[in-house]
Amino acid sequence: MKIYKLFFLLVFVPGILFPQSGVLRGTLLDQNTRLPVSNAHLKVRNSTQGTVTGPGGTFSLAIGALPATVDFSCIGYESITLEITSIDVRPRTFYLKPRTYQLEPVTISGQPAVVIYKDEDYSVLDFDFLDDNLLLVVFRYQLKRAEIILMTTAGDTLAVTHVPAVPARCLYRDVLSNIHYITTRDEAFQAVYDPVFNQLDFPFRTSYDTIIKFLGGYRFLLGSRLWFQEDSPDGFMTAIGYYSRSEGRRNIHRSADLKAMKTYYNEAWYYHTDRAVPDPIDENERRSLDTDAIRYKYFFWDKGCGELFKVSDTLMAFFNFCENRIELLDTTGQTKRVTSIGFHLERPERFITSLTGSFAGTSDWNWNHSLVQDARFQDIYAVFTNKGFLRLERVDLLTGSLARSAELPYEFPEKVKIFKGEAYFLYRGGGEHDNRKLYKMALK
């Protein structure tokens, strides 16, 4: 009789003596929108079993033994851990809560800089604006493990997907405002957001060289014309013009810094050969002067005769630095208004200090030869530097004056962009294991 009882237990109640196993099937949804969460990772603790959710948020996870602890994680969402004690025949539904990335704000002159994206395991490689949202490329440990995140400017995640190819390089915005994901192999994938299915797609693939060849030389589209700006190799001349189907390619305006050009060629012979100069630390020592580097830095690298911007549907602004003025142009390129400027003019420096390098501190803010435009409001800001810090000052196109806006709170911020009156930038802390985070701060 005992033999029959044991046989009954073994055959009909196997879970009493042996752990249950099976396949957990289900769908992972966004807790707020109830839309599918794709590319989420599921992992059974203390095992090698795991899986990734598909485009519709569905998954099938093999579980070797019950009970089991399963971790659910996805970029842009709070991770959860569930204890699975039984497996249903029918698929189950699970939910992830979107994560909002925030830290204690860093305040400079009463203006806080707030973290938009941070993750202990991921670092931000690049970012740009796709319509009114942020598009980020983030990577973990190596560029071969990268993902793309679409999020609102408030930090709420809209979509997450794996990059279409690796290794990741950057994002590139073309003249038609299309955003392309670029790999180190120069592959280019145009990013498109589908709000109906809440997902990012990459429907068009080409090469980075092809985009640059056909669109790289143009600044913007105004009406039916593609406007371009070309700088001479020596940096002393800038030409602007447009291309249209009916007229072809036309140059309409040229700006040249003839005084600087003359100075350069008159003095270039002085830097033709290496020579010894006083060492800035030890006055009794002398060191060799890298004349090629000096020529490049002081006679080319910082040079630029102008920069062209679209400021409305009917106006362009050409910053003519050679003639110290802003020229407002209409859609045909005709000058409508001229305003004098002087913020780009630097104070004279002692030439020997330029040659040997200045080791003395200074509190002066110097224009760093760059302008940044608000991608939505189209305001233009001049960028000033001081010991690695940046200050943004809005340029009044009608008066040429500057309005002090904001000082970024960290040294050497990367890729500064402005959108709707807020500055966005990347910053990596000084720690060995610090990741690059995305910050934003309001401009006055």
Asked if the structure places residue 228 within a domain, the reply is no
Are residues 71 and 128 both part of a single domain? no
Percent of the chain whose predicted confidence (pLDDT) is above 70: 78
Distance of alpha carbon 228 from alpha carbon 239, whole angstroms: 8
Instruction: Answer whether residue 281 is part of any domain.
Output: yes
Q: Are 162 and 252 found together in one domain?
A: no
Smallest CA-to-CA distance from 170 within 184, 160, 191 is with 184
Residues 89, 112, single domain; the answer is: no
The answer to whether residues 41 and 119 belong to one domain is: no
| The pLDDT of residue 348 is above 80 | no
Strand order in the sheet with 380-386: 366-373, 380-386, 389-395, 402-407
Best-predicted range by mean pLDDT among 275-289, 396-410, 411-425? 411-425
* Cα-trace Rg, the chain: 29
At residue 209, the pLDDT reads 95
Backbone angles phi, psi at 422, to 5 degrees: -125, 140
Cα dist from 196 to 35, 59, 200, 443, whole Å: 10, 21, 11, 33
Q: What is the pLDDT of residues 200-235, one digit of tens each?
A: 899 999 999 999 999 988 999 998 999 999 888 777
Domain end residue (candidates: 181, 206, 231): 206
Among residues 68, 96, 124, the one where a domain terminates is 96
pLDDT at 77: 80
Shared domain for 73 and 112, answered yes or no, is: no
- When pLDDT is averaged across residues 240-259 and rounded to a whole number, the result is 90
Tens digits of residue pLDDT in 108-142: 445 578 888 877 778 999 999 999 999 999 987 66
Pick from 87-96, 269-278, 300-309, 406-415: least confident: 269-278
Please enumerate in sequence order all residues whose Cβ is within 8 A of that of 262, keeping only pairs 6 or more positions apart, or say none: none
Exposure pattern of 72-104 as b/e (b: 16+ CB <10 Å)?
Answer: bebbbbeebeeebeebeeeeeebebebbebeee
Instruction: Find residue 63's DSSP bridge partners.
Output: 22
Query: Cα–Cα–Cα angle for 51, 52, 53, nearest 5°?
Result: 125
Within-domain flag for 216: no
Residue 395: inside a domain: yes
CA 101-106-108 angle, 5° bins: 145
Tokens in use for 432?
A: 């060995």
Specify if 222 maps to a domain: no
> What is the phi/psi pair of residue 314, to 5°?
-130, -5
The per-residue pLDDT for range 373-392, each reduced to its tens digit, is 999 999 999 999 998 999 99
112 shares a domain with 62: no
Q: What is the extent of the structural domain holding 71? A: 2-96
Element holding 137 (H helix, E strand)? strand 133-140
Residue 319: pLDDT above 50? yes
Q: Are residues 67 and 180 in the same domain?
A: no
pLDDT, residue 282, reads 53
Cα-based torsion angle of the residue sequence 142, 147, 153, 155 in order, rounded to the nearest 10 degrees:
-80
CATH of the domain at 119: 2.40.10.480
Indicate whether 286 and 201 sit together in one domain: no
Q: What is the mean pLDDT of residues 264-274?
A: 60
More confident residue, 164 or 302: 164
CB of 340 closer than 8 Å to CB of 398 = no
Q: Is residue 360 part of a domain?
A: yes
Please indicate, yes or no, whether residues 57 and 118 belong to a single structural domain of this protein: no
Q: Assess whether 111 and 70 both reside in one domain.
A: no
Who has greater pLDDT, 407 or 276? 407
pLDDT digits (tens, 9 = 90+) for 63-114: 988 899 999 988 778 889 999 988 888 899 999 988 754 444 444 445 578 8
E strands present in 258-379: 276-278, 286-288, 306-310, 316-320, 325-329, 335-340, 366-373
Residue 67 lies in a domain: yes
Domain boundary among 61, 96, 131: 96
Number of domains making up the chain: 3
CATH number, residue 37: 2.60.40.1120
Q: What is the band of 270 on the pLDDT scale with cuts at 50, 70, 90?
A: low
Handedness of CA 114, 117, 119, 123 (dihedral sign): negative
Q: What is the pLDDT of residue 291?
A: 52
What does pLDDT average to over the chain?
81
- Which of the residue ranges 14-23, 134-143, 260-269, 305-314 has the most confident prediction, judged by mean pLDDT? 305-314
Quick check: is 236 in a domain?
Answer: no
Query: What is the four-CA torsion angle of 152, 158, 160, 166, rounded to 10 degrees?
Result: -40
Burial class (CB in 10 A: 0-12, 13-18, 19+), 346: exposed
Under the banding of pLDDT at 50, 70 and 90, the label for residue 251 is very high
Residues 114, 75: one domain? no
Same domain, 66 and 117: no
